[in-house]
Chain A
Amino acid sequence: MAKIKSASTITPKPGVGLKTWLIVGFLFFAIPIFSAALFSVQVGDGSYTISSYTRMLTDPGLSESLWLSTKLVLMTVGIVLLLMVPTVTWLHIRAQKAKRVVEFITLLPLIIPPVVTALGLLSSMPSFLKDSPYLLGFAYGALTMPYTYRALDAGLNSIDVKTLVDAGRGLGASWRQVLSSVIAPNIKSAIFGAIFLAVALVLGEFVVSSLLIWNTLPVWMALVGMSDAEGAVAISVMSLIFVWLLLMVMSLLDGSKKVKINVGGV
């Protein structure tokens, strides 16, 4: 009888190739960030200073644009939580057939150029909305749909939504209670993912906000960059660190520990 190879000789070693790719990937992202950070603190004679950071942090334009972007972030997150979560859940339990149509609709913001979106909003919205940043908030709600819909859809696909909803309703829970106590906690990762994508988009979107003439953080950064390159890079680095921290906080909040314990019996 032929000798059977031991498992160690059969199993491919993941080591070298994977490690190389990880290092290349890390460098691909790390070098530009490091270079940007270096550029923001280096002065002409080779010495270092954090003056570009202090300059930016004391600029009244930062607080104004940051406050506007924060409001828009909150509004977009509200749209995700109050509109997207119930809608996608409803699609899963009651309108499976409509899912393909909705999937297509959610892709429209990727297909329609932002310039067209902005001009469309300006020409179709009532004047009281045109003068309000909330118009931009609604626009962001729509722009984030391709990402938030897919994040929530993936989350809902991972649980038996219909049975959980039926169980909740059967036990006397209202729709609101079912959504807040049963569905949302079980797709927490997906909701956080959707929120993070929405936040990232709002903090990075430039075209629509500049066309609608709102000084959001990205627009302000672009304006600063025209006259103060170090300052613009410094604010970019800070923005990056802020988003990073946000991601970490979200990961901590979504700290569901799933420990599989094998148990038998009835």
Chain B
Amino acid sequence: MSSTQRGSLVELSNLVRRFGEVTALDGLNLTIQPGELVALLGPSGCGKTTALRLLAGLDIADSGNVIVDGNDLTNVAASQRDMGMVFQAYSLFPNMTALENVAFGLKVRGVDTAKRESKAQELLDLVALTNQANRYSHQMSGGQQQRVALARALAIEPKVLLLDEPLSALDAKVRTQLRDEIRRIQIEVGTTTLFVTHDQEEAMAMADRVGVMSNGKLEQIDKPNIVYSNPASAFVASFVGAMNRVPAKLNAGKVSILGQSIKHGGGSSGNDLVALLRPESISVNVEKSPSANTGSVLARSFLGPQTRLTITTSETKTNIHVDLPSSEAGPFDPGTTVALKIQADSLLTDDNGKN
């Protein structure tokens, strides 16, 4: 790879985009540092793809600015922005071979044939498709097509690499392999990258920072472990990772839940609230006699290294999921009475939608 390829500083400033009555982006502010990979995560319709398309120049913002390396690109055409994009749908040009696809961006830039073919071959080597240069898209698997698309996006040495759910059409095993490969290549070339996905595992595994979006707004952006362990809002808490929503009561600064009292900062005494508990933050033990903190195992789901128990309690009248190592799940057959213990010093709560 060329050593000239460096990351650019990207600033999205107060971007607004409306489609009729629907506000797809509602004042998005986002800064991506040079060489950083930021993942935008969120449910369908949250505005993440709109943000990506505005950055690519494939859509026009109603207001706000797109600034790359200090240059305002808001009104610059997509073809003039120097951004490489990999799409969710297979986007290789069917009339061209893999090599021709990768060389296309260089061809339209007037690079001579020998130089662009050499560069395209170099990129195909990078994505480990050296021997596929003369194949057409219909002769390649989905994973191979997306790797060619990645090589094609990188061939123009883009200022920013844009990945629009590039793995969502692939099967699980290929997705995991390609995910690791994209991250390896991104680190190798050092291109600033914006990655849009609704798959939180993908976002967490690949990104330097994860931005969680809802209703056109960025709810939180931080390192993956912080977004997971310290969500900024109930939405983030519920969207990222599995989360139990357990009814509880606040009394004298403590939340009464599952027979335990746990310290909680805000709210008024006597208020009903919903405690948010990660499945791995609850431990279980087999219990003979039912009490306030006991429940009955409804189902046991094997998830590989972990097993998920679904437990119903008489106190909460709700099903609670508990994750534990599969090697310890043996005694918890359906119907077993278990005692639940919350392994947390403080609680995240959803008090009418706010924590």
Which positions in A face B, CB cutoff 8 Å?
159-160, 163-164, 166-174, 177, 181-182, 185-186, 188, 258-261, 263-266
> Known contacts being A163-B87, A185-B95, is A171 close to B105, with CB within 8 Å?
yes
Known: A166-B56, A171-B108. 11 other contacts (CB 8 A): A160-B89, A169-B57, A170-B78, A171-B84, A172-B105, A172-B108, A174-B79, A181-B104, A186-B94, A265-B141, A265-B143
Q: Tell me, rounded to whole Å, the shortest Cβ–Cβ distance linking A175 to chain B.
A: 8
Cross-chain contact of B93 among A167, A169, A264 (Cβ < 8 A): A167
Contact check, B93 vs A263: say whether CB atoms are below 8 A apart.
Answer: no
Cα-based distance from A163 to B145 in the complex (angstroms): 14
CB-CB under 8 A from A182, the residues of chain B are 93, 95
Contact check, A164 vs B93: say whether CB atoms are below 8 A apart.
Answer: yes
A and B contact pairs by CB, cutoff 8 A, 13 listed: A160-B89, A163-B91, A166-B85, A173-B105, A177-B108, A182-B93, A185-B93, A186-B93, A263-B139, A263-B141, A265-B141, A266-B144, A266-B178
CB-CB under 8 A from B56, the residues of chain A are 166, 170
Quick one: CB contact mask for B101-145 with A, threshold 8 Å, 1 for yes?
Answer: 000110011000000000000000000000000000011110110
Beta-carbon nearest neighbor of A167 in chain B:
B91
Contact check, A159 vs B105: say whether CB atoms are below 8 A apart.
Answer: no
Contact check, A172 vs B91: say whether CB atoms are below 8 A apart.
Answer: no
Cα-based distance from A105 to B79 in the complex (angstroms): 33
B194 part of interface (Cβ distance < 8 Å): no
Cα-based distance from A36 to B104 in the complex (angstroms): 53
Interchain Cβ contacts within 8 Å, total number: 97
> Known contacts being A182-B93, A185-B95, A186-B93, is A172 close to B79, with CB within 8 Å?
yes
> Known contacts being A164-B91, A186-B94, A264-B141, is A170 close to B178, with CB within 8 Å?
no
Cross-chain contact of A172 among B58, B82, B177 (Cβ < 8 A): B82
Cross-chain contact of B79 among A163, A169, A259 (Cβ < 8 A): A169
B80 part of interface (Cβ distance < 8 Å): yes
Within B164-196, the residues touching A (CB, 8 Å) are 174, 177-178, 181
Contact check, A167 vs B87: say whether CB atoms are below 8 A apart.
Answer: yes
Contact check, B91 vs A263: say whether CB atoms are below 8 A apart.
Answer: no
Quick one: which of B93, B149, B153 has the most chain A CB within 10 A?
B93
Contact check, A259 vs B139: say whether CB atoms are below 8 A apart.
Answer: yes
5 pairs of A and B residues whose beta carbons are closest in the complex? A171-B105, A266-B143, A185-B95, A167-B91, A169-B78
B37 part of interface (Cβ distance < 8 Å): no
Within B57-110, the residues touching A (CB, 8 Å) are 57-58, 77-85, 87, 89-91, 93-95, 104-105, 108-109
Contact check, A263 vs B104: say whether CB atoms are below 8 A apart.
Answer: no
Of the four ranges (under 10, 10 to 19, 20 to 34, 35 or more), the interface on chain B belongs to: 35 or more
Beta-carbon nearest neighbor of B149 in chain A:
A167
CB-CB under 8 A from B58, the residues of chain A are 166, 169-170
Contact check, A173 vs B104: say whether CB atoms are below 8 A apart.
Answer: yes
Quick one: CB contact mask for B151-170 with A, threshold 8 Å, 1 for yes?
Answer: 01100100000100000000
Contact check, A171 vs B94: say whether CB atoms are below 8 A apart.
Answer: no
Cross-chain contact of B95 among A173, A186, A263 (Cβ < 8 A): A186
Cα-based distance from A160 to B149 in the complex (angstroms): 15
CB-CB under 8 A from B84, the residues of chain A are 170-171
Cα-based distance from A75 to B7 in the complex (angstroms): 50
Q: Tell me, rounded to whole Å, the shortest Cβ–Cβ distance linking B261 to chain A.
A: 52
Contact check, B104 vs A159: say whether CB atoms are below 8 A apart.
Answer: no
CB-CB under 8 A from A181, the residues of chain B are 93, 104, 108
Cα-based distance from A169 to B84 in the complex (angstroms): 10
Beta-carbon nearest neighbor of A258 in chain B:
B138
CB-CB under 8 A from A167, the residues of chain B are 85, 87, 91, 93, 149, 152
Cross-chain contact of B156 among A160, A163, A172 (Cβ < 8 A): A172
B308 part of interface (Cβ distance < 8 Å): no
Cα-based distance from A164 to B144 in the complex (angstroms): 17
Cα-based distance from A166 to B91 in the complex (angstroms): 9
CB-CB under 8 A from A168, the residues of chain B are 93, 104
CB-CB under 8 A from B108, the residues of chain A are 171-174, 177, 181
Contact check, B147 vs A260: say whether CB atoms are below 8 A apart.
Answer: no
CB-CB under 8 A from A186, the residues of chain B are 93-95
Quick one: which of A159, A160, A166 has the most chain B CB within 10 A?
A166
CB-CB under 8 A from A260, the residues of chain B are 138-139
Q: Tell me, rounded to whole Å, the shortest Cβ–Cβ distance linking B136 to chain A.
A: 8
Q: Tell me, rounded to whole Å, the shortest Cβ–Cβ distance linking A182 to chain B.
A: 5
